[in-house]
């Protein structure tokens, strides 16, 4: 099967402090969505991903299926492997520079390119069949198609790291194939995607936080708990308990949890102190995730071990595998 790697439709409305939109062609099966953010750094400063990318919403038929900050996406994907992290290069004069045989990283006061990939297929899975199974169809064998597939990209306000006179440019290219989605035994489209839901939970300080009234649907693949506060001080989560219908699925300290992830091939450098990843899907089969369909009760209880000095908010990114919302 041919795999196409081509420029995508233009990203519309790109400007500092604006929400840009990006519509994708309907018909292909999308594997990856790539973005190039280009801006010039201020004197004595270098550009980071947070300077050019904010909230990203990926929508199907007008409904958000995935929501995350660019930095949250990068943090989670980096934990799957160093090859999946965002890349930041010196792009001064519209060309890359090479040092020691590799592309040079961001340089002070130079034009910079930040490359960020949204992986719909999941190349960290062990088999090609498993990777392909996660790609997103937009058309099916019965002739049905999505009404729309769109990304919303929030461009942050210009930070101190960006040159005062610098505009921002966002380019995109995509990897896709021409596979058509399958039908079930009733001749209905099988339309399964890995959805990322972003929620925020305030808390009062050190101790247990009971997170309840969560979505009880389909299969939960992973929950990532981010704990940095507004002052940049980490409110470290030391333990997480997960309870479904009175049965404890997880009750694990941070170090024991991370060791379990390392045993399954996670990138240790990507398991940073500001995030606690609870992973239920530890195989090539997304159906091995935590089954929530029909559950009466589902709660997560993180233990906050360090109280920060500013606003106390935990951010949860929940990955669920199932039908399009």
* Domain-located, residue 185: no
The DSSP-derived string for 55-102 is EEEEEETTEEEEEEEHHHHHHHHHHH-GGGS-EEEE-GGGS--EETTE
CA–CA–CA angle 71, 169, 94 (5° rounding)? 105
Judgement on whether residues 74 and 167 belong to the same structural domain of the protein: yes
We report the CATH number of the domain holding residue 138 as 2.60.120.730
For the chain, the domain total comes to 2
pLDDT at 287: 82
Judgement on whether residues 170 and 275 belong to the same structural domain of the protein: no
Contacts of 260 (CB under 8 A, 6+ apart): 252, 279
* Domain-located, residue 188: no
Distance (Å, rounded) from C-alpha 285 to C-alpha 3?
A: 23
Judgement on whether residues 47 and 172 belong to the same structural domain of the protein: yes
Which residue range is the domain that position 160 belongs to?
3-177
**Would you say residue 106 has pLDDT above 60?**
yes
**Would you say residue 234 has pLDDT above 80?**
no
3-state secondary structure of 82: helix
Judgement on whether residues 15 and 121 belong to the same structural domain of the protein: yes
Question: Mean pLDDT over residues 42-68, rounded?
Answer: 98
pLDDT in tens, 65-97: 999 999 999 999 999 999 999 999 999 999 999
Contacts of 2 (CB under 8 A, 6+ apart): 177, 178
Judgement on whether residues 278 and 133 belong to the same structural domain of the protein: no
From 177, 203, 234, the end of a domain falls on 177
* Domain-located, residue 252: yes
270 burial (CB, 10 Å; 0-12 / 13-18 / 19+) is buried
CA 81, 86, 92, 96 dihedral sign is positive
pLDDT in tens, 194-224: 999 999 999 888 899 999 878 777 899 999 9
Question: E-strand spans in 121-186?
Answer: 149-154, 169-177
**Would you say residue 26 has pLDDT above 70?**
yes
Which backbone phi and psi does 282 adopt, to 5 degrees?
-115, 25
């Amino acid at each position: 099967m041919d795999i196409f790697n081509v420029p995508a439709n233009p990203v519309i409305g790109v400007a500092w402090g604006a929400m840009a939109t990006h519509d994708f062609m309907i018909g292909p099966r999308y594997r990856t969505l790539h973005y190039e953010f280009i801006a010039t750094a201020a004197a004595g400063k270098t550009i980071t991903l947070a300077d050019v990318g904010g909230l990203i919403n990926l929508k199907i038929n007008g409904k958000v299926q995935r929501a995350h900050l660019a930095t949250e996406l990068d943090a989670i994907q980096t934990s799957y492997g160093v090859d999946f992290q965002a890349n930041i290069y010196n792009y001064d004069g519209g060309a890359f520079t090479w040092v020691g045989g590799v592309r040079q990283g961001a340089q002070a006061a130079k034009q910079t390119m930040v490359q960020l990939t949204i992986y719909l297929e999941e190349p960290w899975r062990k088999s090609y069949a498993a990777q392909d199974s996660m790609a997103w169809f937009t058309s099916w064998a019965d002739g049905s198609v999505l009404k729309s597939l769109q990304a919303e990209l929030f461009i942050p306000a210009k930070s101190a790291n960006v040159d005062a006179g610098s505009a921002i440019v966002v380019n995109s290219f995509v990897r896709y194939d021409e596979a058509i989605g399958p039908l079930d035994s009733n001749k209905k489209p099988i339309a399964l995607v890995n959805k990322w839901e972003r929620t925020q939970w305030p808390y009062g300080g050190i101790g247990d936080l009971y997170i309840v009234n969560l979505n009880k649907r389909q299969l939960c693949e992973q929950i990532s708990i981010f704990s940095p506060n507004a002052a940049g001080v980490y409110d470290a989560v030391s333990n997480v308990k997960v309870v479904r219908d009175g049965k404890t699925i997880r009750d694990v300290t941070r170090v024991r949890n991370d060791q379990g992830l390392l045993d399954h091939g996670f990138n240790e450098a990507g398991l940073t102190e500001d995030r606690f990843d609870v992973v239920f899907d530890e195989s090539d089969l997304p159906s091995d995730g935590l089954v929530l369909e029909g559950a009466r009760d589902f709660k997560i209880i993180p233990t906050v071990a360090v109280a920060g000095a500013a606003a106390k908010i935990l951010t949860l990114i929940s990955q669920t595998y199932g039908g399009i919302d």
